[in-house]
Amino acid sequence: MAKRGRKPKPTALKIFEGNPGKRALPTDEPTPPAGKVEPPFKLDRIGMKVWRLMLDNAPKDLVKPFDALALWQFCQAWSDFFVGEKKVSELKGEYFVYSEKGGVYLHPAVTLRNQAWSRIHKLGPLFGWSPASRVGLNFNEGKKSPAEQLAEILMGSGKSGSG
């Protein structure tokens, strides 16, 4: 059965924010070992750029090797979104396909894009990577925001801060 209410915020994010609620921080939270975070599966060029962008802009020690699979899923979702969006833009408004029997269906590219967007919205807040979950965080003193860097990656208008 699902728990009610807000999802708990990781202690690392609370510490990074300066513990704004001034409540006692949990001492029994499991802490996965630190180390280099590597993708568990291959990512394409867009996925790897998002991977580096997220790791470069995440609060120190937030993402552990234990979190690599969730981060990989997030980056893969962005890659899928980019592929789907590119194909949707080529459709020029023709978002439906018709079967031989006369059935009407959403074009597979539209479905890919929409499902990827849904995954992005579910996974992003787990790491503080959504506007609502970033409130009060200062990820990037003086650098472009992660959103601006991600827009550059997806639009191909330049290189992200990490390559």
Q: Looking at the predicted structure, is the pLDDT value of residue 81 above 90?
A: yes
Is residue 161 in some structural domain? no
Q: What is the pLDDT of residues 99-141, one digit of tens each?
A: 999 999 999 999 999 999 999 999 988 877 777 776 655 555 5
Total-model pTM: 0.69
Stretch 19-26: mean pLDDT, rounded? 85
3-state secondary structure of 97: strand
d(CA 80, CA 112): 7
Find the domain containing 89 and state its range.
11-17+36-155
Among 52-61, 126-135, 139-148, the range with the most confident prediction by mean pLDDT is 52-61
At residue 44, the pLDDT reads 96
Is residue 75 in some structural domain? yes
d(CA 75, CA 44): 9
User: For all residues of the chain together, what is the average pLDDT?
Assistant: 83
Is residue 122 in some structural domain? yes
Is residue 96 in some structural domain? yes
Is residue 86 in some structural domain? yes
Residue 91 main-chain phi, psi, to 5 deg:
-75, -20
Domain count, the chain: 1
Cβ contacts of 142-146, under 8 Å, gap ≥ 24: 143/57, 146/53, 146/54, 146/57
Is residue 61 in some structural domain? yes
100: amino acid identity, one letter: E
At residue 20, the pLDDT reads 83
- 5 Cα distance to chain centroid: 22
Is residue 163 in some structural domain? no
Q: What is the pLDDT of residues 70-80, one digit of tens each?
A: 999 999 999 99
Is residue 81 in some structural domain? yes
